[in-house]
Every structure is written in C-alpha cells, then in structure tokens.
C-alpha cells in the first residue's frame, strides 16, 4: 500500500497540530516553573527575615536576663519586694471590690448599730504601740500629719517592717487585719485609718 498525497497532507497537518499543542504545554510549564521560582525566592527571603528576627529576639532576651541578674545582685530581696507589691496590689483590688459591695449590703441588711470610732492616735508613743509587731504597715498619706509620717517611716526603717504608702485613703477605711494569738502563720498588718491622726 502506497502513501498518497492526501495521506501525506493529513500527516503533515496532524504533525503541525501536535507541535502547536506541544508548544502550548511547553509555554505553560515554563510559566509554572517561573512562578515556582518566584515563590521559592520569596520564601527564601522570608526565611532570612525570620532568622534575623529570631536572632534579634534571642539577643534581646539574653540582654534582659543579664540586666535582671545584675539588678538582683545590686538589690538583694528584690524578688520578695516584688511579691509583696503584687500582694498589696491584689489586696487593694479586693478592698475596692468590698467598698463597691458595701452600699448594696447596707441597703439589703437591717441598719446596724454605729461602730465606735477608733481612738485617735495623739502622740508618738501611741503610734508606736499600734505599729509594733506589724509585718506590714499600710500608711495612708492623706491621714498623717507631717510629724507622724516621719515617725511611721522611721519605725519601718528601724524594725525592717514593710511600709506601703497609699494615695487614696478612702480605699483602705475598712481594713483591719490582725493576727489572732493562736494563728502564727498569718502576717499582722497595721493600718492607720483616716480618722487616726490629724
């Protein structure tokens, strides 16, 4: 069987169609490879940036640790002071919560008999009595006279008692926490109410 001219033309057309399809596929593969190369380059750049960020973070963390260690060496007892400050802050939040509840409790409960006003602290000896034995002194700056402020500060320095100054005296009006004779584990906190010293 001999090939005719028509067969040859048909084969030529099929060959041209296949070559065109092959060119389209090749162009599409080239585009995909280029897009993939761009994506790989972007990811490589991102990896470099992330590594730089990690190095910067680790360096900063190391410097912070060194600074903290130096600060702890310079200020012994810093950890205890920080814990005490956090505890005082928690107590202040609790006191503010109790003060907010106070009007609601008054309206829902029968009117109680008025509580006796605390005895005024009128001299240094009486002030010293109230402060002796306290593990923590909460000093309301608004209720102390100039002399009593310095007496309280002096007492705290001499005895090593922690002393906290509070700017808002109304936040601590109801705090009266004292250690019971049989309860050795709790700290005794001396508070000076706003009525105590003029």
Instruction: Give the model confidence (pLDDT) of 61-92 as tens digits.
Output: 999 999 988 888 888 787 888 889 999 999 99
Domain ranges for the chain, please list them. Answer: 10-74, 123-191
Question: What does each C-alpha distance from 94 to 31, 63, 69, 70, 137 come to in angstroms?
Answer: 67, 36, 33, 34, 17
Higher per-residue confidence, 51 vs 110: 51
Report the distance separating Cα 16 and Cα 1, nearest Å: 24
Question: What does each C-alpha distance from 29 to 20, 26, 33, 41, 112 come to in angstroms?
Answer: 14, 5, 6, 18, 89
Alpha helix ranges (H) inside 119-165 = 124-131, 146-159
* φ/ψ of residue 108, rounded to 5: -90, -15
Question: pLDDT tens for residues 151-191?
Answer: 777 777 777 777 766 665 555 544 444 444 555 544 455 55
Residue 180, helix vs strand vs coil = coil
pLDDT class of 192 with cuts at 50, 70, 90: low
- Cα-to-chain-centroid distance, residue 63: 20
Please, which contacts does 126-129 make with residues 24 or more away whose CB atoms are closer than 8 Å? Answer: 127/151, 127/152, 127/155, 127/197, 128/155
């Amino acid at each position: 069987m001999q090939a005719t001219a028509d067969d040859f033309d048909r084969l030529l057309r099929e060959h041209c169609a296949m070559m065109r399809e092959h060119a389209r596929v090749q162009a599409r593969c080239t585009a995909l490879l280029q897009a993939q190369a761009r994506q790989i380059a972007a990811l490589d750049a991102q990896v470099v940036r992330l590594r730089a960020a990690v190095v910067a973070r680790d360096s900063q963390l190391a410097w912070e640790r060194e600074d903290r260690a130096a600060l702890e060496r310079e200020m012994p007892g810093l950890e205890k002071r920080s814990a005490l400050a956090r505890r005082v802050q928690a107590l202040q939040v609790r006191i503010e919560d109790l003060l907010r509840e106070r009007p609601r409790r008054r309206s829902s409960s029968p009117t109680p008999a008025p509580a006796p006003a605390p005895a005024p602290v009128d001299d240094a000896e009486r002030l010293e009595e109230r402060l002796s034995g306290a593990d923590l002194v909460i000093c309301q700056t608004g209720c102390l006279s100039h002399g009593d402020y310095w007496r309280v500060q002096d007492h705290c320095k001499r005895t090593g008692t922690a002393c906290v100054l509070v700017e808002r005296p109304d936040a601590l009006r109801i705090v009266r926490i004292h250690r019971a004779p049989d309860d050795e584990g709790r700290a005794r906190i001396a508070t000076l109410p706003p009525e105590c010293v003029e």
